Chain A
Amino acid sequence: MNENLLKLEQVTYTSINHDPLNDVSFSLARGENLVLFGPENSGIETVLMMVLDLDETYEGSILYKNMNIKELDYVGKHNYKKEIGFVHGVYGLISNMSVEDNISLPLEYHSRMSENEIKKHVSRLIYELNLDYCKKFRPVDLSSSEMLRTSYARAIAMDPELLLIQHPSEGQSPLNIQSFIENLKERADRDDRSVVIVTYEPEKFIDFSDHFIMIFSGRVVFDGTRNEFLDSDNRYLQQYKSGSSLGPMAIL
């Protein structure tokens, strides 16, 4: 496996507004895909928030390509954010822009491509994600599947090395999410690109990733491969998979 793309070292975070983290450490190699899961309020959203550099008031360090993101200056942060893609759980599409304008936005803002090159690149993404029929629509006219695909197209427009996807299966029909995973797999199979999926339904992404991490109460309670995820007798994992109220996790 390649060198580390992302590494969290003893990240501890306390806040009134967000779920706390307690000594969270894990790493993601370049080309590796990760499924990060756990129940609500477990801290998975907080991990995402920290990696996206939305809060710096944590202890420990988050390293991206061995650079501590907390220590990056304004330009360093700007470049870091250019290199990561993010699909928001509520999509975050710009409401006064059409599908193609939303996808063009990061390219228009960051890239050195000409207008023609941007147009071609966006048309290709629109075609690949089957958004051609709704490319002129605004987000208000889109279904949740179309919004997910538009948000995904926008996130990969700059071909980021690290792509983070928040709850892609939420509010999607099983057929739609299957088709989305097939699209995602093309990207996930590349050796130079990594994808992190934050979800409540890790079993839906079983064929997609070989690395699974479960967080509960701000701590990593399971970190293993696909086979370990399937066969482990970890009590947290067992309870999570069975959906039982009996076990080490007190679910309210």
Chain B
Amino acid sequence: MEVFYTIPVSIGKKALGIWAGIRDFGNYVKSIGLSFKSLRYLRFRSLYSTVINQTRFTGIDALNFVVLIALIIGATVIIQAITNLPKFGTEGFIGNVLVIIVARELGPLITALIVISRSGSAIAAEISTQKQNREILSMEIMGIDTRLYIVFPRIIASILAILSLIIIFDLTAFIGGYVIARTTVYIAPETFLQTALDAFSLKDLLATFIKSLIYGILVPLICCYYGFKPRSKFEVPIYVSRAVIRTLFTIIVVNVIISVLFYF
């Protein structure tokens, strides 16, 4: 009988905990909004180096890995499409399959996952360590708005890096994937190119742009939020892990929502 009481109680506690977390995150976002008040006092030159370093780390340094994954994904999808579509008499839709699977879904999602696991975790760990070393406190005492100085340039850098990486991912998956796929099956290049171009629409471009914009905002926003959280060194790995897992979850949910809004 006790189970009838304990299950609802624990569900209720969990729900309240989630709600408190969402409210706390909301307050954090609001505080960043309020920080924009001091934009007119801010000299943007102090943000340049953070934007450049973060863009380099999130974008350029991740390029090798993104290209490699894009080649593997592109080749796999093309090989599967070329070998399986004729069974259904739909070989003419190879371009559509590529656009739907790679450009619309896998490209943005896998790029975001790579960025979260590389840069998101690094952002959370860096801020946590800075907090423990009293670096954040020093900045606040200096009159530096840390929300603006730490979060804002990382958002700009992430948007630039994610948008560029998604474009590179899609192009590599299409072109590189085709080249790799040619080693196992044959499809005329002009046929491949034409079907891919026919299947690609302005809506796909817009969806990619919106996804990169939203991911670019959410990844640093959530990771910085958890980076500011630890109150002792002991809590640093806990919050870095939370930053990665919860950003991953949020991005997957957001990806579904955008896809539903655009294509359903």
A residues sitting closer than 8 Å to B (CB atoms) are: 52, 54, 74-75, 77-82, 84, 86, 88, 90, 92-96, 105-106, 108-112, 115, 154
Minimum C-beta distance from A35 to chain B (A): 20
- In the complex, the 9 A-B pairs of residues with the closest C-beta atoms, listed nearest first: A92-B138, A81-B143, A108-B46, A92-B134, A109-B46, A82-B143, A86-B141, A106-B142, A94-B135
The CA of A123 and the CA of B134, in the complex, are separated in Å by 25
Minimum C-beta distance from A235 to chain B (A): 35
B192-227 CB mask vs A (1 if < 8 Å, else 0) is: 000000000000000000000000000000000000
Is B87 located at the chain interface by the 8 A CB criterion?
Answer: no
Closest residue to B231 on the A side, CB-wise?
A: A17
Chain A interface: which of B33-41, B113-121, B168-176? B33-41
* Contact call A115/B45, Cβ cutoff below 8 A: yes
B125-166 CB mask vs A (1 if < 8 Å, else 0) is: 010011001110111111111000100000000000000000
Is B9 located at the chain interface by the 8 A CB criterion?
Answer: no
Is B43 located at the chain interface by the 8 A CB criterion?
Answer: yes
Measured between beta carbons, the chain A residues less than 8 angstroms from B145 are 78
The CA of A81 and the CA of B143, in the complex, are separated in Å by 5
The CA of A62 and the CA of B73, in the complex, are separated in Å by 63
Chain B positions 36-56 with a Cβ under 8 Å from a chain A Cβ: 37-38, 41-43, 45-46
Measured between beta carbons, the chain A residues less than 8 angstroms from B42 are 109
The CA of A86 and the CA of B140, in the complex, are separated in Å by 11
Closest residue to B45 on the A side, CB-wise?
A: A108
The CA of A81 and the CA of B139, in the complex, are separated in Å by 10
- Known A78-B38, A108-B43, A110-B43; judge A92-B143 contact (CB<8 A): no
* Contact call A94/B130, Cβ cutoff below 8 A: yes
Closest residue to A74 on the B side, CB-wise?
A: B37
New A-B pairs, 14, CB < 8 Å, besides A74-B37, A74-B38: A54-B140, A77-B143, A78-B38, A78-B41, A78-B143, A78-B145, A86-B142, A88-B138, A92-B134, A92-B141, A94-B135, A95-B129, A108-B45, A110-B43
The CA of A95 and the CA of B130, in the complex, are separated in Å by 8
Chain B interface residue bracket vs A: 20 to 34
The CA of A78 and the CA of B236, in the complex, are separated in Å by 29
Minimum C-beta distance from B204 to chain A (A): 39
The CA of A94 and the CA of B126, in the complex, are separated in Å by 11
User: What are 11 residue pairs bridging A and B, where the CB atoms are less than 8 Å apart in the complex?
Assistant: A52-B141, A75-B38, A79-B143, A88-B141, A93-B138, A105-B46, A105-B142, A106-B142, A108-B43, A109-B42, A109-B143
Minimum C-beta distance from A205 to chain B (A): 22
* Contact call B137/A88, Cβ cutoff below 8 A: yes
* Contact call B130/A109, Cβ cutoff below 8 A: no
B4-48 CB mask vs A (1 if < 8 Å, else 0) is: 000000000000000000000000000000100110011101100
Minimum C-beta distance from B77 to chain A (A): 40
Closest residue to B129 on the A side, CB-wise?
A: A95
The CA of A115 and the CA of B149, in the complex, are separated in Å by 19
Minimum C-beta distance from B180 to chain A (A): 39
Closest residue to A115 on the B side, CB-wise?
A: B45
* Contact call A90/B37, Cβ cutoff below 8 A: no
The CA of A196 and the CA of B261, in the complex, are separated in Å by 60
The CA of A105 and the CA of B140, in the complex, are separated in Å by 12
The CA of A77 and the CA of B139, in the complex, are separated in Å by 14
Closest residue to A114 on the B side, CB-wise?
A: B45
The CA of A52 and the CA of B141, in the complex, are separated in Å by 7
* Contact call B133/A109, Cβ cutoff below 8 A: no
The CA of A205 and the CA of B140, in the complex, are separated in Å by 28
Measured between beta carbons, the chain B residues less than 8 angstroms from A54 are 137, 140-141
* Contact call A86/B38, Cβ cutoff below 8 A: no
Measured between beta carbons, the chain A residues less than 8 angstroms from B41 are 75, 78, 110
* Contact call A90/B133, Cβ cutoff below 8 A: yes
Minimum C-beta distance from B38 to chain A (A): 6
The CA of A193 and the CA of B137, in the complex, are separated in Å by 24
Closest residue to B142 on the A side, CB-wise?
A: A106
The CA of A115 and the CA of B144, in the complex, are separated in Å by 19
Closest residue to B133 on the A side, CB-wise?
A: A95
Minimum C-beta distance from A153 to chain B (A): 13
Within 8 Å by CB of B135, from A86, A93, A112, lies A93
The CA of A95 and the CA of B133, in the complex, are separated in Å by 9
The CA of A79 and the CA of B142, in the complex, are separated in Å by 10
Measured between beta carbons, the chain A residues less than 8 angstroms from B38 are 74-75, 78
Measured between beta carbons, the chain B residues less than 8 angstroms from A86 are 138, 141-142
Minimum C-beta distance from B157 to chain A (A): 15
Measured between beta carbons, the chain B residues less than 8 angstroms from A88 are 134, 137-138, 141
Measured between beta carbons, the chain B residues less than 8 angstroms from A81 are 140-143
The CA of A106 and the CA of B45, in the complex, are separated in Å by 12
* Contact call B43/A92, Cβ cutoff below 8 A: no
Minimum C-beta distance from B153 to chain A (A): 12
The CA of A202 and the CA of B201, in the complex, are separated in Å by 74
